Amino acid sequence: MYTDKYMKRREIQELKIKPLPELQKLLKEGRERLRILKFDLAAGKVKNVRELRSLKKNLARIQTFIPHPCGTSKYKPKIKL
């Protein structure tokens, strides 16, 4: 999972070409990390609360590239003919 404050443009480009199982794996790992951070925040162990925000944004970016079961997706890959 990307742990930088913000995802760089190169990292977003890499997400576009990753296969679906790998994106789902990244999403699952990110959600687990978010769950742990929320528990740590409630216990007072987290010093950097901005990490939660950046993690949520990164998870949203990953979800953008995962197609929806109904066939709709926010991301439309450009097809070159």
Cα distance from N-terminal residue to C-terminal residue, the chain: 33
pLDDT band at 74 (very low <50, low <70, confident <90, very high): low
Q: What is the mean pLDDT of the chain?
A: 84
For residue 31, what pLDDT is reported?
A: 96
Of the two residues 8 and 44, the one the predictor is more confident about is: 44
Looking at the 3D structure of the chain, how many domains does it have? 1
CB within 8 A of 22, min separation 6: which ones? none
The parent domain of residue 18 ranges over 1-81
Q: How confident is the model at residue 41 (pLDDT cuts 50, 70, 90)?
A: very high
